[in-house]
Amino acid sequence: MKDSITIDEANELLHKHMKDEYNLHHSRESEVIMRALARKFGEDEEMWGISGLLHDLDWEVIGDDIDQHSHRTIEILKEEGYDMPEMFHAIQAHCEGLVPGAPARESKWDFSLAAAESVTGLIFAYTLMKPDKKIEGTKPKSINKKFKDKSFAAKVPRNFIADIEKTGLEKSEFFQIAIDAMTEIADELGM
C-alpha cells in the first residue's frame, strides 16, 4: 500500500470516477482552498490539496445512497492501493453528522477540509448573483452577509464553515483565503 499520492495520480482517479463538470469544479475549488490553508498553517500543501480534490470522489458512484458518502471514497482509494490514515480521516470527517459512521472532526486538517469544501457553495452561489457573474472583486464582508442569511444557499452547512475558527483562523480571514484561492482559478472555472 502507498502512503502518499501524487497530484497526477489524484487527477487520474478523479477523472476516472467523476464526469459532471459541476462536481469537477467543486473538487478543484476545494483543492485550491485547501492548498491555501496548508500554506497558511505550514502544513503539507500537496496532501491537503489532494484531500480537497478527492473528498467527493465517490459522489457520482454512490448515486442516491448518501449513507455511503466518504466511506466509498476510502474504499476506492484502498482498492487503488493507497493507505493514508490522516487524509482518510479528514475525508470521512467532512461528513460528520451527515453520514452514519462518519468520524468527528478533530484535527486542523479535518476542520479545514469541511470548511473549505462547504464555503465553495456559498462563494459560487454569491458569484452567480453578481451582474458580471465573476468572483473577482468579491469581499469577505459580502460572503459573511450571505453566510448569516440561512435561506441563501440553504444546503451549505454553516456549522462546518463556522468551525474553521477551531483552527485559530477567523472566519473573515478564511473567507478572504477562499476567495483569493478561487480567484486564482477563475478562468479555468468560467467565474
- The predicted pLDDT at position 116 comes to 98
Its pTM stands at 0.96
d(CA 68, CA 99): 7
d(CA 89, CA 163): 17
Please write the tens of the pLDDT for every residue from 50-76: 999 999 999 999 988 999 999 999 999
- CB atoms near residue 168 (< 10 Å): 11
- Which domains can be identified in the chain, with CATH numbers? 7-189 (1.10.3210)
Which parts of the chain register pLDDT below 70?
Answer: none
- The predicted pLDDT at position 69 comes to 95
- The predicted pLDDT at position 64 comes to 85
